[in-house]
Structure 1
Amino acid sequence: MELSPFQLLIITGILPHILSSRLRGYHLIRDKMNFNGSWNYCKQNFISLAVVNSPDELKAITAEAQRLGFKSEAWIGMYNDVNSWHWSIDNSELGSVRMWSNGEPNNNNVKEECVKIDGSGKWYDAPCQDPNQFVCYNGKNLTSYSSLTN
């Protein structure tokens, strides 16, 4: 079966996937980086790693992850700042939205200071130096986009 150039762009992930939402624009980046590398990438290319302040924002991220067939884990912008979880964008404390997986956060071996999300929206603490895919956001309202890179 021969694919058209348009189909090749979709398969390779070069063509951005668009997520329409009333919320922030989320960008799933499939390149793997540690937490600091991911945070820096998002700051340079968007605004920050994804921040989840409402159930609707969490739904937007998980709906897009499921639409893209994302079955892995990805960094979001949460980290542990001396026994207190904070968001990367403005160092704000974790709000009322908490989607920890069972038994999390557990700070296994006292080395899990950063947070990743799975395709179902559950959060896990993990070592910050581990390479993972990640979710950036652009802070836009009304229309938001989700990009996919190779």
Structure 2
Amino acid sequence: MSAAAQPRRTRNSRLVRALVAAGTGAAVLALPLIGATGASAATGSSTPSTTLAGYPNNLDGWIRESLAIMAEKKIPGTYNGIHRNIIRESSGNPSAINLWDSNAAKGIPSKGLLQVIDPTFNAYHVAGTSFNIYDPVANITAACNYAAARYGSIDNVFGAY
């Protein structure tokens, strides 16, 4: 239908549509709040909300826990340096694995938050952390230990390492 043949919309109909849209948006925002008043906390969550050390079980908590371990072991690095490298390497996915680069072609794919290969993880593993390369804190701490030995700090890493 051509623009000339379409019915004209009045100012009132636009106002009514805007109010309906605003009301719908408010209702959508209010629904979770209404439902939450009668809900109880979930039990048996599959993912704990904190790590064993009491940090949040998320990227922020993993970095902060790693920094605490690094401070004890005198491994240099900052939150911003670690975060920048994690986002570049894995987008924050602790289960990330690279199956296409030269390391993968050799049968030793890069794994975890900071995309560490098994030999590097084993050589730079930090005592007191898990021996699981996919463990976020162990992966971060080993990678930072390696970066400290090779580049002085994870803060000095701005590309694949």
Q: How high is the TM-score relative to the length of structure 2?
A: 0.23
Higher relative contact order (CA 8 A, sep 6+): 1
Q: Which has the larger radius of gyration?
A: 2
Give 1 or 2: higher strand fraction.
1
Give 1 or 2: higher helix fraction.
2
